[in-house]
Each structure stands twice: as C-alpha cells, then as structure tokens.
Structure 1
Amino acid sequence: MRKTGKLDYLELSAAGGSMDSVKAFYASVFGWSFTDYGPTYAAFDEGLEGGFQADKADAPAKPLPVLYSENLEETFEAVEAAGARIVLPIFSFPGGRRFHFADPAGNELAVWGE
C-alpha cells in the first residue's frame, strides 16, 4: 500500500553499460523481469526495505541497494559467472553475511544472507 513518506521506488543508472547487458545480468542472476518504457528505460518490481549507516568508515558514498539471497555462496558464484566485478568478497556483519559487486553499468550493490 502506498503511503506518504514511504520509500516507493529505486532508480539505478544503466548509463555505464548497455540496457540489454544490465537487464540480462539481473534476469540471469536474480530472476528479475522488466517492463520497457522506450529504448532508454526499463522498470522492475522486486520489493524494497531500507536503512541508514552512520559509521563514516562503512557508510556508502552513494545509496547502496542490498539484495537478499537464500544461498549467499551460490549467488556469489552466479554474480561472478555473469561477469560482475566483485567489490568486496563475502564478509560477516551484525545480522548476517554479505558481499558487494558492481553490475555491468558500474552500479554498486550488495547481497546479504544469514
């Protein structure tokens, strides 16, 4: 349900790669589907929660989308096999483990699991 003040949408850049390579990456690794709105925009609907990091050493310079995985090692292997650049290998943090990667357009994302 949409409500005033609730995060409603996350828009990522695809300018660092081709739209086809970005869509193919997320479809193959995470099973995302897309709705195309012309040649330069594709929408996805995959859910959203959020949080803030106040530790200056750990705070991202830009917003950091974080995806969930039921099997972190398997997802790590799929991300690597799909050609993403690993920014941070799997590490532990309070609440679980995660890794960071750069997608074909250069966006940094993280994947976490328990």
Structure 2
Amino acid sequence: MPSHETINYVEFAARDLEATKAFFNRAFGWTFDDYGPDYCAFSGRGLDGGFYRADMAATTANGSALVVLYSDDLEATLNKVSTSGGQINKAIYSFPGGRRFHFIEPSGNEFAVWGQALEQ
C-alpha cells in the first residue's frame, strides 16, 4: 500500500521504448508490463515507474533530477551497463560516502549507479 505523501512512482520519456526495455532487462534484470504501444511500466526495483514514448530525454545537463541506482559491485555493474548498450558519460569517481558512475540509456536518459567506497 502506498504511503501518504511519499514519492510513489517515477516516469521517463523514451524515444525508443523497445531499446530502453531491452537495455534495462539485460543490464539490470528489469521486466516490463506494456500498456499499449506507447507506455511500459516496471515495478519492484526500489521505486515503481514507467517509460512513455516521447522525443525528450532527461539529463543533468538540462536540469533533470538524477535517478541513482545502487550496486554491491560497481565495476561489474558498469561492465553490464556498457555491454548492454549504455553509454558511460562519467566514469567511476569517488565522492564523500562512496563511488559512482553515470550512464545514458538508449533513449537518452541519464542515470547513475553508486556503491560503497573501496576498503583501504
């Protein structure tokens, strides 16, 4: 049951729904429910959401909010993103509290993945 006045769902534009679905399935194991030819939804991935067909894309360069995923193995996740068709636009870097990288999925949306700092 959704909680009152909390973030419940997120939606993204997607130029190519099929390529976006295939990418997230290969890279992260996401599955989708199609609602007609122009919308698909995902659930059980930390926050439910969907992709709708549109020519726009969300990137931090154009002021978009950044959705950040978590990984227990940042290098392995970066490899899966790369081999699944994602474009790495910021290589792994450290920040206070951990490390992360950014990527662009096939429809042009930017996401990031973070992980714990390497133990010294």
Deviation track 1:21-76 (CA, whole Å, cap 9, x = no partner) reads 1000000000001111011100001113xxxxxxxxx9982011111111100010
Q: CA deviation at 1:100?
A: 0.2
Shift in Å, 1:3: 2.3
Aligned residues between the structures: 103
Which ranges in structure 2 are unaligned for 5 or more consecutive residues? 48-59
Distance 1:86 1:59, change over 3 A: closer
Q: What is the TM-score of this pair, normalised by structure 2?
A: 0.80
Moved over 2 A (4+): none
> Identity across aligned pairs (percent)?
50
Q: Which has the higher strand share?
A: 2
Secondary structure at the aligned position of 2:103 is classed as: strand
Q: Distance in 2 between matches of 1:59 and 1:94?
A: 22
Quote the Cα distance in structure 2 between the aligned partners of 1:103 and 1:12: 11
Unpaired runs of 5+ in structure 1? 49-57
Q: What's the TM-score once normalised by structure 1's chain length?
A: 0.84
